[in-house]
Structure 1
Amino acid sequence: MTIGEKIQKCRKEQKMSQEELAGRLGVSRQAVSKWELNESVPDTENVIELGRIFNVSLDYLLKMEIEEPEDREKENTEENQNVVQAHEGRQEERKRMRHPGLLILSVCTVLIMIWTVSRHAALTGIVWVVDLWVFWGIGYLIFLVVRALKKYIQR
């Protein structure tokens, strides 16, 4: 049984529509439909959330050879907890390292200001800092647009 068939089976067992499931996951109904038709697969975050919503193990969802969920009371096995904790740990690390460019930009700003003030060219330093921040902002906007497009294409 494929992951799509398992998602559909679990969704129907819980008498949930594709729209309701999509709402709980924060994806479109079309994304859920594609998963169930095996046209695409959910990303890791959504697989973990599907396991929580349906109260089934990640093994059941991901392994094709497992046809029926094990006792649903055993969902929080040590292996599943380790997978979830590792995933959450990566998410936390991503949050901490989300904007290292901002730190680099701030350090560069301070260094430029110190250098230009020591050369008695504060106005030049201010212009450089403003330019640096504007270019960083434009680059960051491009980064956000590309990331949003990737997410949109995946769904």
Structure 2
Amino acid sequence: MEVSERLGRARNNQQLTQLEVAQRLHVSRQTISNWETGRSYPDIASLLSLADLYRLSLDSLLKEDAKMIEDVKKKRTRTPRYSSNRHEFPSSGFNRAWHDFSARF
């Protein structure tokens, strides 16, 4: 099952509409639709927010989706490296999560 299918099922399991999820993540309803239909993929920050909202782990959202893994690899090469020093980049928890996730590939 692809990430898009997992996202749609998880949203339905939480009995949320695309609009409700969009408002919580501060994106458009069309963005949620694009993620759920596979036209685009959420960035890592959005994936973390979705996992929290849907009460799922990143593993359960992303496992076995080769397209998503390839997309993450591409984004990883474009993402600047930041110091783990909290004073240089305020969301160091995000950096750790990204590093832990992307290190698997």
TM range (shorter): 0.5 to 0.7
More helix by share: 1
Structure 2, unaligned runs of 5 or more = 66-83, 92-105
Shift in Å, 1:62: 1.1
2:5 is the counterpart of 1:10: no
**Percent of aligned pairs sharing the same letter:** 37
> 2:53 corresponds to which residue?
53
> 2:102 corresponds to which residue?
none
Q: Which has the higher contact order (CA 8 A, sep 6+)?
A: 2
> 1:28 corresponds to which residue?
28
* Letter aligned with residue 37 of structure 1: T
Shift in Å, 1:63: 1.1
Query: TM-score, structure 1 length as denominator?
Result: 0.43
Structure 1, unaligned runs of 5 or more = 66-88, 97-155
Counterparts in 2 of 1:92 and 1:57: CA distance versus 1, 3 Å: farther
CA distance in 2, matches of 1:10, 1:90: 35
* Letter aligned with residue 94 of structure 1: F
* Letter aligned with residue 30 of structure 1: Q
Counterparts in 2 of 1:92 and 1:63: CA distance versus 1, 3 Å: farther
Shift in Å, 1:22: 0.4
- Alignment: residue pair count: 73
CA distance in 1, matches of 2:8, 2:60: 13
* Letter aligned with residue 34 of structure 1: N
* Letter aligned with residue 10 of structure 1: A
Pairing 1:1-155 to 2, within 5 Å after superposition: 1-64=1-64, 93-95=88-90
Shift in Å, 1:90: 8.3
Query: TM-score, structure 2 length as denominator?
Result: 0.62
Question: Could you report, residue by residue, the CA deviation over 1:32-83 in whole angstroms, capped at 9, with x for unpaired residues?
Answer: 0000000000000000011100111100111126xxxxxxxxxxxxxxxxxx
CA distance in 2, matches of 1:92, 1:35: 33
> 2:96 corresponds to which residue?
none
